[in-house]
Structure 1
């Protein structure tokens, strides 16, 4: 593979330069690829922001590996009717500034979003709230405008003390296991253990997050010993190159993310479902996973990973079958003009980023589709340009990844006909009245089984109509120095697990 020399050169560079600086005995040092956009939980939606926010803040709830809600600041809760949720806070919780947490702080945090104290991406998700009540300091009551089963997903929002204002991104005060000591944008952050944390003071006194934009440099930092931990920020080739290091441990586990091919359903060629199905049958995902991803993924049959509570296994699947792909293209009217000759049935354009792995993946798609007579032109762009094109619908085919697939309501924003950009994330312009009806049914259902039935039917329809071809669920991968003890991987690669980590 093309990237092997890069990974090996990084190893040789470190060997030539020695072991590097001694580690700080009381500091856990992590390399991250970019600086957090905002430490304010109402504003930062990128992965780096989410990771740091999990160390500084707590929400009413958090989610376990199967996407099931668990109490965080909330000791318990109940849904008294279709429109009313009551949450009871754990006793004795304090903010980093010593103030006790009360239900009024929860109310303030939500109101600051709904009343535009800050312009938050979460406002649309919380707009279903009709009102809030705080009958006492430990109880918060939410009243909804209409039944909305996915409501709990929005309550992982980090809670702020009342009156926090708009400068939380620079001076965050939360209830989390760590408090902010230093933040230098594009350089890094220093966090200190919070002595008053309600689950007990974390074993590791200090966490240092270093921004290391270059993937090769992150590998070098690990080998030199100047970084202790990297999570999901190395290429599969680099992970393989590091397996032989006696100083490093590699952990991998299932994720709740999905990598997919998106088709522009308004395109004259791709609007024919037979063409989309032919593309799916033409691709050898097993080969890509084994060779390009070094086995660090599992084939997908739908958007939700197999261990999700709403996952439906009994749907149409697309194991590679070039003969079936060719037959579907013939049936769609795109006959092969010269059999095994060089001429193609038609040409499609595939957009991707300039990242090396993304370009290699595109080349494999190109090669495999060529065998069934499809000429795939690859165009690669810097991330900002690529992403703007996808949101604007300026594409035929692209590939991206969805992460944090916690609640099956993810189907609504991605496939609901009322959620085309910028109102939602239906980038492929999919429209199906039956799916729209089932999406509403899923949000208004009162029981888990009612929701499961609605989303099961949705998954079956999508597997037939194929607005996406879901490719694989990538594995989460952490590479850590052996002095790091107690680190675990969750399906969302959560950083709140660092509250349990110690150093030897």
Structure 2
């Protein structure tokens, strides 16, 4: 009898365990927290951070591609000479130190023993090649205008390099810290023609594989110069353009981290296995005009449209209130931003807008097209809301939704009439003004040219006194609002939704995706 009881008890225990496992799997919240993966439950699988990515990358070349969907990947593969910390203070990266003997000379001393992911040693020659590639017209680098004051670059030794500038240039070090000034390997560029489909840097993660419309995978750089970093064994960016798919994936644990719009945040907050991490971004939403095309070559038309736009509605409807009014320099840039709330062209005034259209010769309004990206709900919602607002002053706008690659091509070529999008202010006010709106700015895709903006841009770049620079950029912002090549709308709050077994990760405006210390708790 005792033996039978023991056998019965053992069978009962097995049944209970199986039932418990069955209940866990049927709960609708199956846990990727366990670290299981199609490749088994190895350490690599356990420490593979899976991210639901809202967009396919547009290429991997840090010198050419400005799309956020690309930057969030290649910024982990490449390093620059300098970087910023969470307080926006310059810190050494590939350069362990730097000095400025005079106003136009910068000398960087490189870290020794740093290697590219292919095993090649990184030297001052690579730094020289990278900057010359950026400055080469044929590269068509997005960062070219950052360094147009660089007159010559001298390799002083394998670990020391000198930059000679043509004149005093206040934002130089800030741009050296840009991801778009990443140090690349000449050998890799020559072997591949460009870096759009390959990525070999010195950063904390190595590029492994890109399966289009599926995922991009990075692996840990075991030889990273920062000892003990990264903690993760890899990152997989899984393409999930549909927000409902990302919401389902983060709920069930298919991914560890993703982004959601303001509309979906309440749904995520109800799940006790998820953390919502928000921060005020350095981005602003905008509608831009091709000022080479009628009627947008007329300033009064652009001003009329600004008065027709109800920015409060954009904030409340598109972003559910999770945004603040913005000019060309968003509020997250601190003292560099102006208070735009009292600016005349930010006041919603339909009658004055109609009067300006009459003065411009468009008393009956006109027809136009608003182009935007089909895979970003906020851009579509903004375009649709603007379409309704424009109707009140007689402007009939069709909306053209473009796939991401086509949208980027349209942005670059200026082949648009009105374009809805988002920009980032970067780390220096020069980017917000010169980069986007000076006549020769690398990202001036609007055909816009204004002598006053060019003059203020030049003054801001060559003035080192911070208070005087602030006054210059205040004036430049007001001039941009008055001339309206873009209408600056709002600066949104951004959200990451994170499984609560992901530790040591806190997004910030400057470093939204620093995973060097991140681990997945088992």
TM-score by length of 2: 0.79
Asked whether the 8 Å contact 2:204–2:224 carries over to 1, the reply is: yes
Distance 1:346 1:117, change over 3 A: closer
Asked whether the 8 Å contact 2:74–2:199 carries over to 1, the reply is: no
- The equivalent of 2:13 in structure 1 is none
Alignment of 1:476-495 (within 5 A): 476-492=494-510, 494-495=512-513
d(CA) in 1 for partners of 2:129, 2:244: 44
- The equivalent of 1:6 in structure 2 is none
- The equivalent of 1:374 in structure 2 is 394
Alignment of 1:126-145 (within 5 A): 126-145=147-166
Counterpart pick for 1:151 among 172, 179, 192 = 172
Give the 3-state SS of the residue equivalent to 2:255 in structure 1. Answer: coil
Q: Deviations over 1:206-238 (max 9, x none)?
A: 32222233333222221221100114xx33323
- The equivalent of 2:8 in structure 1 is none
- The equivalent of 2:436 in structure 1 is 414
d(CA) in 1 for partners of 2:66, 2:346: 36
- The equivalent of 1:352 in structure 2 is 371
**Larger C-alpha radius of gyration, 1 or 2?**
2
Whether 1:279 aligns to 2:305 is yes
Distance 1:15 1:152, change over 3 A: farther
Q: Which has the higher helix share?
A: 2
**RMSD, aligned α-carbons:** 3.5
Counterpart pick for 1:262 among 281, 288, 291 = 288
Alignment of 1:37-436 (within 5 A): 37-64=58-85, 68-91=89-112, 93-96=114-117, 100-114=121-135, 120-123=141-144, 125-155=146-176, 156=178, 157-161=181-185, 163-166=187-190, 167=192, 172-201=199-228, 202-231=230-259, 234-265=260-291, 270=296, 273-313=299-339, 316-317=342-343, 322=348, 324-330=349-355, 333=358, 345-353=364-372, 354-355=374-375, 356-371=377-392, 373-383=393-403, 395-410=416-431, 411-418=433-440, 424-436=442-454
d(CA) in 1 for partners of 2:313, 2:139: 47
Asked whether the 8 Å contact 1:105–1:162 carries over to 2, the reply is: yes
d(CA) in 1 for partners of 2:99, 2:443: 31
Distance 1:104 1:213, change over 3 A: same
Asked whether the 8 Å contact 1:282–1:320 carries over to 2, the reply is: no
Asked whether the 8 Å contact 1:275–1:329 carries over to 2, the reply is: no
Distance 1:386 1:213, change over 3 A: closer
Distance 1:160 1:83, change over 3 A: same
Q: Which segment is superposed worse, 381-390 or 143-152?
A: 381-390
- The equivalent of 1:7 in structure 2 is none
d(CA) in 2 for partners of 1:251, 1:210: 20
Asked whether the 8 Å contact 2:382–2:420 carries over to 1, the reply is: no
Distance 1:264 1:108, change over 3 A: closer
Structure 2: segments with no counterpart, 5+ residues: 1-24, 37-45
- The equivalent of 2:39 in structure 1 is none
Q: How far is 1:51 from its partner?
A: 1.7
Asked whether the 8 Å contact 1:23–1:226 carries over to 2, the reply is: no
Distance 1:462 1:245, change over 3 A: same
